[in-house]
């Protein structure tokens, strides 16, 4: 199939009261796993790679693999640069054929975030590509349980969307990247208020470690794209660990299959949750 736009996928998800899984990848095995799960479940997904990962997984190598995988999939797949930080990397992703750009200006003060996001959004629109922005202090997982939760301001979110023209907005509601040191306390009241003020799909970053019930609540309050990165990298590592623990004689091809399988199982379960295709009883049982 042809590569899809993130904007179209999240709009379709909204009509079906679902969320699109946006899965970060770092090697061929992870790409194979995500696409295999998506094909098997006949569900569109988003393949992503974050700019911060390019030191280990260069874009000029990863990009063509991701594009080819999307084109050869049996379902619609968007290919996105996640947490883009520089104009140069955005341009490289666009030149490779990425169908979506997520620019992260959340580390800057508000006016600079608006200015930089607006500039990138113009570039992206001119290329006919979808655009995601971020507003709020998502950052890394909190190191201490009593750290103050800083959420996206709903009024600023409304203004930010109007000024930048982004197609989707990543928000901070108590979510964080990486591993949570305790169960995340998502602020659903804030999410609901943002949803009521903003007329575009919302994005939840930091999906690893969030309870399936909370995923469902987020979807109910307007989240249409859920990012998963750490779970995928953990799964790939776990697949390798289990392979070396269980096998007596090692070879690359067995290692390859073990990594693909673990990531595939992780992605498959998450897709079912995001699609509302697995009951809470099944979730707790597993």
**Nearest to 229, CA basis, from 47, 29, 89:** 47
**Scanning the structure block, which residue is given the tokens 């899809």?**
4
Cβ atoms of 172 and 137 within 8 Å: the answer is: yes
Cβ atoms of 165 and 200 within 8 Å: the answer is: no
| Dihedral, CA of residue 222, residue 179, residue 233 and residue 121, to nearest 10 | 40
Provide the 3-class DSSP secondary structure of residue 146: coil
Which of 12, 76, 82, 155 is flagged as catalytic? 82
Tokens of 163: 């000024």
Length of the chain: 286
Helix or strand holding residue 21 (H, E): strand 20-24
Q: Give, to the nearest 10 degrees, the angle between helix 28-41 and helix 252-274.
A: 40
- The answer to whether residue 82 is catalytic is yes
Pairing of strands 130-135, 168-171: parallel
Q: Which residues are catalytic?
A: 82
């Amino acid at each position: 199939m042809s590569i899809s736009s993130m904007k179209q996928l999240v709009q379709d998800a909204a009509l079906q009261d679902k969320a699109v899984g946006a899965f970060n990848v770092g090697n061929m095995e992870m790409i194979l796993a995500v696409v295999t799960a998506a094909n098997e479940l006949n569900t569109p997904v988003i393949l992503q790679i974050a700019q911060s990962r390019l030191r280990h997984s260069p874009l000029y190598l990863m990009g063509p693999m991701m594009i080819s995988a999307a084109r050869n999939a049996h379902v619609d797949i968007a290919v996105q640069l996640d947490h883009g930080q520089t104009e140069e990397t955005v341009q490289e992703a666009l030149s490779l054929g990425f169908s979506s750009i997520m620019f992260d200006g959340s580390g800057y003060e508000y006016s600079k975030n608006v200015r930089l996001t607006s500039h990138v959004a113009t570039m992206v629109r001119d290329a006919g590509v979808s655009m995601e922005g971020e507003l709020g202090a998502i950052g890394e997982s909190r190191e201490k349980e009593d750290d103050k939760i800083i959420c996206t301001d709903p009024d600023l979110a409304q203004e930010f969307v109007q000024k930048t023209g982004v197609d989707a907005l990543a928000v901070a509601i108590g979510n964080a990247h990486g591993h949570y040191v305790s169960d995340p306390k998502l602020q659903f009241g804030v999410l609901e208020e943002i949803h009521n003020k903003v007329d575009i799909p919302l994005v939840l970053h930091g999906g690893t470690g969030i309870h399936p019930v909370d995923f469902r609540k987020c979807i109910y309050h307007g989240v249409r794209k859920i990012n998963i990165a750490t779970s995928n990298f953990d799964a790939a590592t776990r697949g390798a660990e289990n392979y070396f623990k269980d096998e007596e004689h090692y070879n690359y091809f067995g290692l390859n299959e073990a990594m693909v399988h673990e990531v595939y199982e992780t992605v498959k379960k998450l897709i079912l949750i995001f699609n509302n295709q697995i009951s809470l009883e099944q979730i707790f049982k597993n």
